[in-house]
Structure formats: C-alpha cells, structure tokens
Structure 1
Amino acid sequence: MNLGSQIAWDDTVLPFQLDASDVRGRVARLDGVLDQVLSQHDYPAQIEALVAEMALLTALIGQTMKLRWKLSLQVRGDGPARLIATDYYAPQKEGDIARIRAYASFDDTRLDASKPAFDMIGKGYFAILIDQGQGMTPYQGITPIAGGSLAKCAETYFAQSEQLPTRFELSFGKSTLAGQGESWRAGGVMLQHMPKASPFASGEGGSGEQGLLAANDLLDEDEGENWNRANILLDSVDDLELIGPSVQPTELLVRLFHEEQPRVYDPQSVKFGCSCSADRVRESLSIYSAKDIAHMTTDEGIVTADCQFCGAHYEFDPNTLGFEASVKPDDAE
C-alpha cells in the first residue's frame, strides 16, 4: 500500500450503521490532531495518555451530535490529574472541517509513574456539555468517575444520562513509520444502539459500578442479543487495526461486521483548532471593575492572558478592559 492510501483516513471520522443489529457507530483515526494538541504542552507521559484518550473520545462523540457549535468533555478529579478538558467545534457548513482542542491541569508532584494513568484522576466526575451557540441554553450531563478508563466513563455517561447502550474500543500511543519521526496515532470504534422511543430501563438503578445503569439494563431480550453479538465481533479487533495506517476503516468494518450488513456514510475530517481571540478575552474580562483590572496589571502597565489550549499570548491596555473601561480598544491601537 502506498503512502497516499496509508494516510487517506488520518484525522477522519467515518460514520456507519449495522443494519442487521440496529446499531450505529463511528470509526476514528487521529494523528496530526493529537500531535498538535500535545505539542502545545510538555505533559508527563500519564497526562499525555489521558489527553490522547479524551481527544479520541471527543472526535467520536462529537461526530454523533447534531451540533450547531460546540461539544465539550470534562473530567475533574481529586487526584494529581485535576482536569482534562476537550472541545469539538462542529463544521459551520457542509464540507468544512471539524476542530478539536484539549487541555489538562495536573499536580506534577503527586503523579505516581508506577500506576495507570486513569488512577491519577481519583474520585470525581465525567461531564459532557453541549453549547448550540448564542440564544440557546447549554446542556450539561454528569456521571461519576467509574469503570477504570475514560472510555468506560463515557459508556456509563451514555447509559445513565442518555439511556443509550454505547461501547468504545480505543488504541493510542506514539509510533514511528519508516522514514518518518515519532508521532502520535490514535484510532477507535464507537458502537451505539439506535435510540428508542420508550427507554426500557426504569431509571431506579442498574447493574453497573456504583449502581449505575449499564447497556444490558437498557435492552429487551432481542435487542440485547443483537447488541451482544456486535460487541463480541468488536472484541476481535486488535490495536494495529484500530490505529492503522495500513488497514482502512472501510476494510476494518467489513472484517469485523460483514454479517451485520455495515453501511457507511460520508466521512468527517477533523483538525486541531482553537476559538480563542483577543475579543473573547476582552469579553471574559468585561465583568471586572477598574479596581479588579488594576490588580491584574503588570509592572509594565499591561494585562496579559495566555490560552490554556493553544498557548496564544495576549497583551492589553488595562484602560480598555472591564465594564469601567475608559478607552475603546480601537483607540488604544
């Protein structure tokens, strides 16, 4: 296989449906996105792994949503990994590329290299936030940290908050192709049972960890049989098939699910992208008084701000900031 065919599916999400199982899904491949996300920061290995897994989940989940603007995933814990946050910006029109950014906050002094990365989160919660833009009320759903991985947390979220049986199979890490340097690659498959008009679960507790709902709590006998069959087929996938680059997603779907009658739809490209801007920083500071702005002003007489996601650096005249601003931004230039 030539290089062109090897990279054709990188930074792409492919939607599909299994007609024989009443299951829909996504196959995602990320490489350049992860490299750009992680190159913005000098994260320890465990934090890099958590950010990579979260970015891959974000690509898979974001493509399933009917978004006008932004999907955000957040994990907050009481361990050394305090916060993992990602954003997925939907394409604004047909043919546009979706954008992903990610950020982590952590306490380097508390990291324990002998333990799995997920253990660095501790107790906390997994949240999905959907913001459809100006004039729309944001939605937020939260579930406890559970299951032993971020993928399992996402599965629990969909079972508990959306009552949708969901499965993720992910692989990610650094790899080296012949003639190229080391780079990040990630790949994954998301399976999700098609939504039902009347959820089967009573909502009174489930068989999952901490009494949370699990997939089998949401399906009747026939649906459960179809769902279990699709999951058993997905169990046979290996890491190299997930991350590529030699196995195309369409080939992977045929190998795994040919008896389930897979149907593919148009793929969605994704890239690293940030929404930060000077205007957005000004807007975020508009709630502060002149006294507050004075406390933020450096000895050099400026107010600075750095984007946690992309590292962009902004400098402002303090007289242009806050609700008591005495100078318009254009006049300060």
Structure 2
Amino acid sequence: MTIGSKLAWDDTVLPFQLDLSDIRGRVARLDGVLNGVLSQHDYPEPVEALVAEMALLTALIGQTVKLRWKLSLQVQTRGAVRMIATDYFAPTAEGEPARIRAYASFDRDQVNEQAAFDQLQDGYFAILMDQGEGTTPYQGITPLAGGSLAACAESYFAQSEQLPTRFALNFGKAMNADGTGEWRAGGIMIQVMPKASPFAQGGGSGDGGLLRAEDLVDGDEEENWRRVNFHVDTVDELELIGPDLPPTDLLVRLFHEEQPRVFDAQPVRFGCTCSEDRVRQSLSIYSARDIEKMTTDDGRVTADCQFCGAHYDLDPETVGFEAKK
C-alpha cells in the first residue's frame, strides 16, 4: 500500500453508537502517534507489533472512559518481552488532543521468529485508571490468554467490568510515496452499553474458565450482540488502515441497518509528561549519601525517560532532600 500524504482522519478516535442495538463503539486510526512511539527505540519486529497493538488498544479504551487524567495499560511477563506500558492522558481542555506514550522492555537475545504474542509468557494484562490528586487509582488484572493483546483486553472487560466487548484491529508498516516505511494502525471497538444488571456467576467459556462476551448476554441483547459482531467480522484490513475509506463511511458500510450515530472525533498525539521537575521530585526521597551512589564518574546524576528518550543531566548537589539550595 502506498500512502501519499497524511490523511485527515489519522490520529483520531471517532465515537459512535448503534441505537437499534444499544451498543457503543469507537473507530481509531493512528499514524503519527505510532511513529512517535516507535521511533524512540530500536525494537525487533515482534516487539514493534506488540507495542503498536497496545497503543491502538490504549487509544480505543482511553476514549471510552470519563477520564480526568491518565489511563494506563500494562503487560508483565516472564517471556522475551518483559513489560509493555502505555499511557493515555486525557485532553487538558475542550478541543485539545489526548496524548499517548508507550514503551517495551525486552530481552533481545530471547526474541525469536515466532508470532508476536508468543514473545509473552506467564504474565498478566492490566488496566490502571488514575483520576488525579485526591482520588484512589483503580487497577484491574486478567491473565494473558486468547492469542492477542486484543483478546486480553476483551477478557479484562468481561471479568472486571462484565461488559461484552469486541476489538477488531489491524496494524503494520505502510509505504510512503518516497519509499520510506511508516507504521499505521486502525481498529474498531464495540461494547454493550453499561447496565445495572446482576454480575454473571460461576466460570466462563474462555481459556481457563475466563468469562467471554458471549457469557454475559442473553435474550434480545444476545441477538443484538451476535448480529453486530457478524457485521464486524466482514471488515477488511484495508478498510481499517487504508487511505480510501473514512471512518464515517466505514460505519455506514458495516452498520447502516443499526442506525449508527457518530459524535465528535477525538484527536490523539504522541506526548510525554516527563520533565526535569518530575525527575527532581522522584529523587527528592533520597539522602545525599544515596545521591552520591547515583553520581557518575563525571560528577553528574543522569536520568533517561523510557517513553520519549529525553535525557536529564543534573548537579548532584541540587537533588535529594538534602540538596543545597
């Protein structure tokens, strides 16, 4: 696929609702966000794919939450990829973009030619929500299962929120007109509207007895869920990441019988919140003796941001709770 220029709907999340089915959803397209995330690191291809999938999930999930500050997705494993961490920062004002950052920690010697998800072994998928000062952060965890990070996210919503949820994602490198490659990603999220219904009891039909979306619906709701999923199954990968079909047209193509309504699109950008002040704050718990142990042979205290690669070089006498003013 050749992409000549940036498209108007790149780096946006479009919310929608299917009134006939009582189902809400999101369509996301990421371009510059992914390139901003991945250009900071020299990841092997399977690790790039995992980070791209995680960033796309973060954009879709973050836009569904009435978020005042930060939503984080994390994967921790004992496999070749030890950790993947993403953050979604809510817009600071009306009309402002949300910001996404992501990075992965991995053992390069253990990364192999197997599928990306196979680089993750014996771990968990977590969603953390922090609404800012004066609130208690929330965390929900589910095992790694289902063969993809999207399946893990679906399992999280089934176990922790009891909300039937489905993701259809596609991502990969596209070729620009000048022959250079850039990452692109697109995806759809659908979710049954939250209701004050009793939680499901007992085990589910998923791996290891985990609940699945199908375990949470019955009657008319089950029929609606099956019908909408049938439409999602027909989506083509080029419809998700290609240049020819705007998200609004995709929704009409998939769900015209479901009476889709769209809302204002949310722009997203690559962005990091690191700063020298935050580094100093993180070091403020250490004594002068501790700071001395962190000091380099050149007589400096240094720190690097894992997310954006920013490098901070500080005078050791100016950090820690015994810093000289």
Query: TM-score scaled by structure 2?
Result: 0.97
Q: How does 1:1-333 map to 2 (within 5 A)?
A: 7-113=7-113, 115-179=114-178, 181-202=180-201, 204-325=202-323, 327-328=324-325
Asked if the contact 1:18–1:260 (Cα under 8 Å) also holds between the matched residues in 2, the reply is: yes
Structure 2: which amino acid aligns with 1:182? G
After superposition, the C-alpha distances for 1:209-268 in whole angstroms (9 at most, x for unaligned) are 111111121112211110011001000001000012111000000000000110000000
Query: Against the structure 1 CA distance between its residues 299 and 179, is the aligned structure 2 distance closer, same or farther, given a 3 Å change threshold?
Result: closer
Work out the percentage of aligned pairs sharing the same amino acid.
Answer: 72
The separation in 1 between residues aligned to 2:25 and 2:165, in whole angstroms, is 9
Q: Quote how far apart the aligned CAs of 1:200 are.
A: 4.7
> SS at the partner of 1:40?
coil
Residue 143 of structure 1 and its aligned partner are, at CA, apart by 0.5
Cα distance, 1:201 vs structure 2: 1.1
Contact 2:72–2:127 under 8 Å retained in 1: yes
2: distance between equivalents of 1:5 and 1:275? 29
| Contact persistence 2:5–2:176 (CA under 8 A) | no
1-structure distance, mates of 2:176, 2:4: 13
Deviation at 1:179, TM superposition (A): 4.4
Q: Distance in 2 between matches of 1:177 and 1:259?
A: 36
Question: For residues 133 and 223 of structure 2, what CA distance do their matches in structure 1 show?
Answer: 43
Q: Counterparts of 2:128 and 2:205 in 1: how far apart (Å)?
A: 25
Change (3 A) 1:265 1:5: farther
Partners of 1:318 and 1:308 in 2: how far apart?
Answer: 21
Decide which moves more: 62-71 or 210-219. 210-219
Give deviations 1:195-218, integer Å, cap 9, x for gaps: 01123512x221111111111211
Q: What is the distance in 2 between the residues matched to 1:216 and 1:273?
A: 36
Q: CA deviation at 1:180?
A: 5.6
TM-superposed CA distance for 1:320, in Å, is: 1.6
* Cα separation, 1, equivalents of 2:316 and 2:178: 50
* Partner SS, residue 42 of structure 2: coil
Amino acid at match of 1:309: F
- How much does 1:280 deviate? 0.6
* Aligned residue identity for 1:126: F
Question: Which amino acid letter does the alignment assign opposite residue 64 of structure 1?
Answer: T
Tell me by how many angstroms 1:138 deviates: 0.7
Shift of 1:5: 9.6
Distance 1:44 1:300, change over 3 A: same
| Other structure's SS at 2:171 match | strand
Whether contact under 8 Å (2:47, 2:116) holds in the other structure is: yes
Q: State the Cα distance separating 1:321 from its structure 2 match.
A: 1.5
Amino acid at match of 1:13: V
Distance 1:184 1:61 in 2: 20
Q: Is the 8 A contact 1:73 1:127 kept in 2?
A: yes
> What CA distance in whole angstroms lies between the structure 1 residues aligned with 2:47 and 2:12?
24
Q: Distance in 2 between matches of 1:179 and 1:4?
A: 8
- State the number of aligned residues: 323
Q: What is the CA–CA distance in structure 2 between the aligned matches of 1:72 and 1:6, rounded to whole Å?
A: 27
What is the root-mean-square deviation of aligned Cα atoms in Å? Answer: 1.3
Which amino acid counterpart does residue 169 of structure 1 have in structure 2?
A
Structure 2 counterpart of 1:331: none
Distance 2:287 2:280 in 1: 13
Does the residue aligned with 1:7 lie in a helix, a strand or coil?
Answer: coil
Q: Any gaps of 5 or more consecutive residues in structure 1?
A: 329-333
8 Å Cα contact 1:200-1:220 kept in structure 2: no
Q: Distance in 1 between matches of 2:242 and 2:64?
A: 22
User: Which amino acid is 2:97 matched to?
Assistant: I
Find the aligned partners of 2:51 and 2:23 in 1 and give their Cα distance: 28
| Deviation of 1:324 (Å) | 2.0
Kept in 2, the 8 Å contact 1:90–1:98? The answer is yes
